[in-house]
Structure 1
């Protein structure tokens, strides 16, 4: 029904994914190799960036006559690659409508990745496949927790969002703060929707847990966007009498790995995204179903441990680092995700970091901006939106001012500091 209404082709793709995972592991490896070969050949022939990359490094034969053992000879990409070369990463002869999907900036600034309808449908089909394993279907109600910055979007974007929600039987609850009265309203709305699956960041869902409000059941809760801590899982499952399902995904690729039934770790959805794990644990992806803006050997800035193979799926366990939290500011509970979303809408912002005390009070918010004169505008927007003075804690900073994790040698979005 939803395919007919939205003129999309999700169901046939959903079936193809199911057929793929019914095959033997060796058969699937051959199919993945063929998909990689097509992705590289298409990139060389149609994407200026990859043609130039191959010619400059004299590796055109790898793109045109692909062998899996030669993949590592292709140089890595990262977010800086996307920023600097974006127009050369798009297929120039593509004339159909494209949709830009923006990263949330949690691993190094906000960038846009282009999708056509075909690649969007593949991402949707992967999501349906994963959720269907738990019995969740389109006839069941999904509620998504989002950061409440929709008032800054234009009417066309809001209309498009409404259409997507209608077709997919999904509602959004926009989280602005976690005051007691706000939390009560969010939970009341969840009850009213008869929610079967709730999706959001762990810090958001954990923020809904309240000792002063009666517990109730939501069958499935799906977390993504940041690291899920064990104590968060326990609290959420207890309050909602729910099964918490973790997933790892990116705006750059869609769902990359998903926690399957009866599995502790995440299973890589290799039909959609080819995953490598670098020596330092960083996840490197090649997306296999976006042919207008393919990413090949893209460093994600996220880290994991490889956990072998289980049930025919490669297993990974995410490492901590990419996460948000609730902070206390003058009696207000604010999610750093909301503030981050506001700041990244300012022109020139490349990165940011929240530095908080052990009792979760804000110390300072470091913002790396190509336009330092935007500082006052940034403070004003955050203060106006949150109706607090928390924006006064924002300062211009260089990357060298940010705190890094010693174990991963990477920046953390939220760090605890001693004053």
Structure 2
């Protein structure tokens, strides 16, 4: 590839950051609260507030489930973070994490029709985070944990899933895992390989890759063929220092890497069919010469944000058959945004009390199936966010699976869930279009 072309691609890759710095202060935030009820005149406040609202409060007091019918609880998700593990930026604090959480809320609304609220906490204490989420339950239909550092992110999720009566999930774990699995399902079709046979190297042993490893093993990958690498080398049975400090990592030491290979990511990648990276933002974290030593027609997922571990065009030059990143401005985006809006739409519509691993697998399979086998190609292994009808499909599949898993409180058919999700998402997109057309959202 000519150097001039690489420079042009690099310049294009830097453009979103430049635009973000310009547009965030222009809009002073990306979301707001607007009424959803009709206000004909000021007399209507006697219905929506005092004195009429007292009757509704009394009804809910007698039957708490009516909160789902009389308030927006049924469609509300809290996006909770302590700002300790923000996408590629690390521990930048709750205030600096707010733009990310607002962005998450924006995606929830536009892609899933879900009202989401950023809640950035002024604490890093595991117990305080757990207690805060638990006492927030009356106001929300679900909780999305976001950008919380490991190892505490694991017990926080485990505890809340066990002790909360509303669904709680950690998008950096479950969301990343299901979308990665969906991408891998279709990438393997491109190269005609089976998940049970491939060798998989994984760079990064944080919450995302650990959950990815669990989910792909649950789906059929051979644990012995998975080699995970952290900053100190491969996870293997000799890494006993992790036993007490990082139990989830230690579990990977015991469950994966059947050959007990010791070394770096370079050694782990030798003859590997698949590389999945969620580690240090690049470029140049992964070298072209390492990819050249992988098996024939390798699959390379370099998903660090905001910059992948190697630029996709360099990975292709090194021989990668399928390349994916986490960015929307490159082909093959493997990003949570394809998953969580539909998953929570379906979870809320079924009024599920939790989001099970089987629901995540169902979402991954449904997402992968949104591209017909004869349409899958090296440059298109997943739908894009533009393919917005993907979201009601995922929502309906998840809702039906919730019923089968016996965690749903509302029952309906796939078509009924699909139509409801479609209506909600259409409404959100139309609202945004109308506000732009009528200049309530100004043009920068």
- Fold match (TM-score > 0.5): no
TM-score of the superposed pair, with normalisation by structure 2: 0.32
Bigger helix fraction = 2
Bigger strand fraction = 1
